[in-house]
Amino acid sequence: MSSALELWLVRHGQTTANVAGLLSGWLDVPLTEQGRTQARLAAQRLAGRRFDGVWSSDLERAVATARLAWGEPVADRRLREIHFGELEGRRWGDLGGDREAALLEFLRFRAPGGESIEDLRERVLGFIGELAPGRHLVFSHGGVIRLLTCDLGEDRFLGNGGIAVIDWSGRRLRRIWELASDLS
């Protein structure tokens, strides 16, 4: 029996908060019509593949993406986006230069009244540490996927509906599919 662990990470489709330029974190916001289209495009990439587990964040945007792209996932709150605390629901352009720079730098970011990247890492790696060997499909958020790619020495932020394939056991990024370009 192989002990290899492969993660297929899918970022949720576009949301109403994405369109408005808002930090949504733990806010439960719905997909837009374009977000539903992105989920259906992800389904085309996933078609015909076999997974040993299908998981999602418990937030509506990730669960809805999973349902449209694959089917019913097992929801786990550890797969949520970073909790932005006092910044939840704030417009990106209103954050101010220092906060914007810290969030773009990412690895040292700490949301006032929310989580740090280290807090996010602890809960996400706790989830991954409990996965059985095999290939797992995970519907989650941009910050979660960026954290995992950073841990592999890559700093990748996927667009909505994007897919990253990670050989977690081998500690390498295998493939990225960005779906936004498929919508034009």
State the Cα–Cα distance between residues 163 and 28, nearest whole angstrom: 21
Question: Is 12 annotated as catalytic?
Answer: yes
Report whether 65 contacts 45 (CB < 8 A): no
Sheet of 74-75: strand order equals 74-75, 53-56, 134-140, 5-11, 163-167, 172-177
Residue with tokens 């945007």: 61
Residue with tokens 């910050």: 143
Question: Is 83 annotated as catalytic?
Answer: no
CB-count exposure of residue 143 (10 Å: 0-12, 13-18, 19+): buried
**From 6, 12, 83, 88, active-site residue:** 12
**From 81, 88, 115, 141, active-site residue:** 81
How many residues can be counted in the chain? Answer: 184
State the Cα–Cα distance between residues 6 and 133, nearest whole angstrom: 8
Known catalytic residues are 12, 81
